[in-house]
Structures are given as C-alpha cells and as structure tokens.
Chain A
C-alpha cells in the first residue's frame, strides 16, 4: 500500500500549518439555527460553541432529531448559517452567499449515510468526480489519483465496476475514496456506518481514520454507533439542539 504522505502535496501542508497557527479549522460561536417561518418557526440549534483543531477526529453523538445533522450541514456549507458566527478554514459562513457556500463545499469531503454514488458511473468515474471540481488537475492526473485512491481503500480490482455490482461496504468505501481523493482539509461524515454490518462498519471507520492521519485532515463524524467511539480524539454530545462536551 502506497503512503500518501504530505510531502507529495506541499501546498496543502503549508496551508494547514498556517491555518493551525492562526485559528481552529472549525470555530462556531453562539451559533443558532431556526427552521420554518412565522409562527411555525422553530429553533433547532441553541448557541452552539465548538472549536475543532486541525488533525482532530471529533465524534458527535446524540439522539435522533437533536440537531446533529443540521450542525453538520451548516459546517459543510450545505445550508446557510443564520445567527452567531461560524468560521470554517478561516471563512465566515454565517450569512454567506450561495456562491461562497458552493466554493466552501469544495474544501470538504462529505460522506453520507447512504453512499450516494452515481449509478451510471463506474467506481473510478465516481471517484474522479471528486477531482473534476479542482481545475488544476489534468485528465491523466485525475485518473492516476483516482486509481491510487481506490487501491488505497482496497478496491483496486473493482475500479470499473458499477455501484450496482458492489456490496454495501464496497460502495461506502468508494464514497470515502470520492470524498478523500482531493485531499480535503475537513471530512464531514453523517452516520457513515449506519447502513453497514458491524465488520464493514468497522473497516470503513478504520479506513477513514487511517487516511485522515495520512493526509492530516480533520474529521467530524456524526454517529449513533457505539462500536466506533474508540477512534475519536474527542466526543461531543448533542441534545435538544444544545452541545455538551463529553469525556473521551
């Protein structure tokens, strides 16, 4: 297995170091969020304060409907933050324009509960979609990196398979390869093991941990799954829209 060490990507290291010196990768202060309008308006996040430093693996747990996914989508730029302050990689996302959010998303690798692979694309093409966003890669570079990434997640012999022909665990591994192939600074994962059996779930989490350590990226992982709590550097707990720190 080839090591994707940081010396191959010096520009990333510099940026990461600079960011680490300056401020946390993710910094939320007094972040609140509301759904609905008028008298249906309902607050789902209450004054969230959260700082995550570069290279940390943070797990967020909590019951269903507590607002975990909402916070994750705010940090990922999928939704526009409303009040308070949310700085991700030095960029203020509170009240940011749609275009700013779109560009901010490109900094993250997002892993969903479902694999969400494109059924008309092979594993390789799916992974390559994660690189096409970044204009500085040439075609051959994109292919090389995607193949390398798939080999890295142990699917080197499945690169031309369509998602329909892969098992659930394999699909989730392709999704991880897609999220990590562009070496994002932050990986956001929303219950990535929920649809998997315990062994595949464990493999997937180990894989994420390994790749994150190699690439030096920060992971925020929402989960219900007690079996994977051990990979965390820190665990935070969300309940009724309020965040409480949890001992590791």
Chain B
C-alpha cells in the first residue's frame, strides 16, 4: 500500500496533462458531463418534488394517529368511512380527541379567469385545528362564516390578481358546485401533482357544498393521544378495538402510505427513472466520444511508452485518470447550473424543488460511474497501440 502511494507520488499525471493541454477537447467533455448531470439533477429533482409535494398536506396534519378507509389510495382519493369508528376510538385509553376531517376534489371557477379547474377542498371543525400551519390557525374564525374559505397562495394557475385582491383585504367570490363562496384569507402550502391548489373551510361549510355527503361519512379521522401516551401503542389498541372497515396508522405511517402510493401506483416515478437513465446513457456516450478521440490521438505516443517498457495497465490507468478527472471537473458546472434551474422551475410550477445534499452525492456517484464506464469502453482502443506494428 505504501509502495503504491509512493508510486503515485512520483508518477507524471499524464492523463491530467493530456486533458489540460487540449483545452477545446476538455471543454467539450466537461460540457457533455455537465449536460448529463443537469439532466439527471432535473429528473431526480422533479421526482423528489413529486413525492414532497404530495406529502405536504399529509405532513401538515396536526395529529398523532390517522383513521382512514381501507379503500383510501392517496390524499386526493381518500374514500370515506363511518364517523361511528371515531366515537368508538374514544373508548381507548390514551385517546384525547378524535375529530373528523373531510376532503374532496371539486371543479371550481377560477375567480380571476372564470374558467373551471380542479381544486382540492378540505373541511374540519375550526375549534380543533387540524393543520399544523400557524397562518391557517390564526384565520380559523373566518371560516366559521358560511361559504367562506381560505385559499392556498401556492396554487398552480392564474391567481396572481385574486391573491393580490385578498391581500388588500378585499373579498373575492367565485362558484363551487353552484354555490357562491368567498375567499377571505390566504395561506401557503403549495401545489402538488395530485391537486393544483387547496381550499380550507369548516366542516359545516364543506357539508353545505356537498349536500350528498353525509356528516357521518368522514374522509379521515384525526386522533390526538393524551400527553405521555405512545401513539404506536395507542394505534395498535385502536386497531384491535375497531372492525376491519377502517385502517389505523400513526402520522408517520400515514405519510409513508402517501409516499408509497406515488412511488408504486403512479407511473411518474418510473418516468423520471427512465429520464435519469437516459441522461446517464447520453453522458456515457459523450464522455466515450471524447476519451476515444483522445486515445486515438495519442496512439503513437502510447505505443512508444509500451516500447519503452510500460505495461498495458499503465495506459489503462491513464485513461481512467482522464475519466475520473473529467467526472470531478464536469460535476462542478453540472452541480451549479441545476441550482438556478431549480429556482426557475420552483417559480414556474409552485413545486418544492431544490438542491439537496443527498441528491448531489447521488448524482456525483452516478457521474463517476458514468465516466468509469466510458473509460472502460475507451480502453479497448488501447489494444491497437502495439509498438511492433507501429514502427
């Protein structure tokens, strides 16, 4: 091992010298790698945004245990179960409160353009705040008024004017299910792939909007445990106590359930996975082109080194050295550019896209593997560097 380090210390950094001497070739290689990295970062970024945005509402729930229908698939598609199960859950020791939570997607008229679009609407008892959002909880008095809702400022669509009006304190009205509703306040949660926006109102208003929904059919049950009680234990006890027509999950399990739906049930994870793989392949091809051109250009020199007594493994190392140098240098622009593109995408789509350390490490490892594969393919050309045939 020490011998190897000594060997490396006395070695001429041939790969690096070859690359740095050919500036234009180096630039082509680096932009190719940066391009592949940017593509990978975007694909992975959108994929992460998908999972993050769809669990934002689930994560914001202020609850310890969630009851839901076994038919529920995601927050936009919750199905219903009987409110009786909530009252039954109150029998369990350690349960402090059990409140119903209503959710539905609905077509509403955009208050600004008057065009119909789909939005998610949730309802809960304003006396028991269901969300861990201080901005919402300060405005709960407003939604006690009939047909009054709070509007998500992060909704996707043309709402800038309506939001500005609400911020000035004006009341904006629009139409949902043939009822006129008033937007009387704003909060920030952000759009998701499942819903373009979110309205919050009281359980009473919610039931007025959907006359065919019974108060007894709830979407979720939000259970708070008594101080000092373990939610996992209490959830197990509730599960044992209640019949099978309702699922009992802790809050963490519910977020995981939501994530799992988007990972396995939607094609979106697959699509972004394909996108990342394609970027990876494009990167391999680009780097291979550059490396094989470089090997070809130096074939005669390599043959000379072989004639001097250098082994084939030495030349392999030179090509790999080039590959690794390219991976490191190409990653720098490939890492910086996406930070700005994420910013643009976040503004344009209202999705929570941003650079994360774990994704940067992941893409960096992919970049090194990418360059190593290209290097491996490029070394096949070294076979033709035979001094006996060349001189």
Q: Which residues of A contact B (CB under 8 A)?
A: 69, 73, 76, 78-79, 102-106, 108, 110, 112-114, 116-121, 125, 128-130, 132-133, 135, 137-139, 142, 162, 178, 190
Are B11 and A132 in touch, CB under 8 angstroms? yes
Q: Which of B12, B22, B308, B391 contacts A105 (CB 8 A)?
A: B308
**Residues from chain A with Cβ under 8 Å of B387 in the complex:** 73, 78
A184 CB, nearest partner CB in chain B, Å? 10
| Interchain CB contact under 8 A, B309 and A121 | no
| Identity of the chain B residue whose Cβ is nearest the Cβ of A112 in the assembled complex | B391
B18 touches A129 (CB 8 A): no
Q: Indicate the size class of the contact surface on chain B.
A: 20 to 34
CB–CB B307/A110 < 8 A = yes
Complex CA–CA separation, A113 to B387 (angstroms): 13
CA A125 to CA B11, docked complex, whole Å: 10
B residues lining the A interface (CB < 8 Å): 7, 9-12, 14, 17-18, 20-22, 298, 300-301, 303-311, 387-388, 391
Q: Is A125 a contact partner of B17 (Cβ separation < 8 A)?
A: yes
Closest beta carbon of chain A to B11's beta carbon, Å: 6
Would you give 14 A-B contacts (Cβ < 8 Å), ordered by A? Answer: A69-B391, A78-B307, A102-B309, A105-B307, A110-B308, A112-B307, A112-B391, A116-B301, A119-B21, A119-B301, A120-B14, A120-B298, A129-B305, A132-B10
Contact A121 B14 (CB under 8 A): yes
Known: A117-B301, A120-B298. 17 other contacts (CB 8 A): A69-B391, A73-B391, A78-B387, A78-B388, A105-B306, A105-B308, A113-B391, A118-B301, A118-B304, A118-B305, A119-B301, A120-B21, A129-B305, A132-B10, A135-B7, A138-B10, A190-B391
Chain A residues near B22 (CB, 8 Å)? 120
**Closest A-B pairs by Cβ, 9 of them:** A106-B309, A105-B309, A120-B21, A79-B388, A116-B304, A118-B301, A120-B18, A78-B388, A139-B10
In the complex, are the beta carbons of A133 and B301 less than 8 A apart?
no
Complex Cα gap A108–B387 (Å): 14
CB of A143 to closest CB in B, whole Å: 10
Q: Complex Cα distance A4/B261, Å?
A: 79
Q: Please indicate the chain B residues that have their CB under 8 angstroms from the CB of A125 in the complex.
A: 12, 17
Q: Which residues of A contact B391 (CB under 8 A)?
A: 69, 73, 78, 112-113, 190
